[in-house]
Amino acid sequence: MSDIRKNELPINEEIKDKEIRLIDTDGTMLGILHIKEAQKLAYSKSLDLVKIVPNAVPPVCKIMDYGKSVFEQAKKEKEAKKNLKTVSLKEVRFSAKIEEHDFDFKCKNAYKFLQDGDKVKASIRFRGRELKYTALGEEILSKFADTVKDVGVVEKPPKLEGKSMIMIVNPKKQNN
């Protein structure tokens, strides 16, 4: 039975210690008792004896409804996971010779991504001789940052990495 519940606490007969420190269902300390007395006390209340602090001397056990406590814990973890917001990274690629309409279109998409709470990675890939005009790329990325400034904050300013210039923009925190 214990191989099914690998990372869970030992209960009832799984507890092999001779003496334990016992806590009642309401949290009151009952003191150090022999394991058999503690098990009888738990069974008389139709509850389980659960070892909650195995490394203590003597180990600390509590009388509780084990199935209910596992269910409650799983419910709390599920709720915490539901409230967790995942932020993904969306990329918008520009070219050094981008036209105004294309630029506006890509900015509009990036704006939507930032409003949805996603990070945006804006990048420009320089091909061939375009690498001489990195200042033009920096200008485009600065214009992009200025366009989305009301929904995003620049996390990483424009930086040349190999043949690409990259900038990362975080969404602004909404005050709900």
φ, ψ dihedrals at 75, nearest 5°: -65, -45
What is the Cα Rg of the chain in Å? 30
Mean pLDDT per 10-residue segment, the chain (176 residues):
55 85 89 89 89 87 88 87 79 90 93 90 90 88 91 90 91 68
Question: Length of the chain in residues, anyone?
Answer: 176
Residues 6+ apart with CB under 8 A from 44: none
Q: Does residue 96 sit in the same domain as residue 155? A: yes
Element (H, E) at 76: helix 66-83
Q: What pLDDT was estimated at residue 2? A: 42
Q: What pLDDT was estimated at residue 7? A: 57
Q: Given 81, 116, 132, which residue is the final one in a domain? A: 81
Q: Return the CATH number at 61.
A: 3.10.20.80
Q: What pLDDT was estimated at residue 84? A: 74
Q: What pLDDT was estimated at residue 102? A: 94
Q: Does residue 97 sit in the same domain as residue 138? A: yes
Q: Does residue 99 sit in the same domain as residue 72? A: no
Q: What pLDDT was estimated at residue 166? A: 93
**Residue 6 in domain:** no
pTM: 0.52
Q: What is the CB neighbour count within 10 angstroms for residue 126?
A: 19
Boundaries of domain holding 98: 89-171
Q: Does residue 100 sit in the same domain as residue 163? A: yes
Residues 80, 39: contact at Cβ < 8 Å? no
Q: Does residue 97 sit in the same domain as residue 155? A: yes
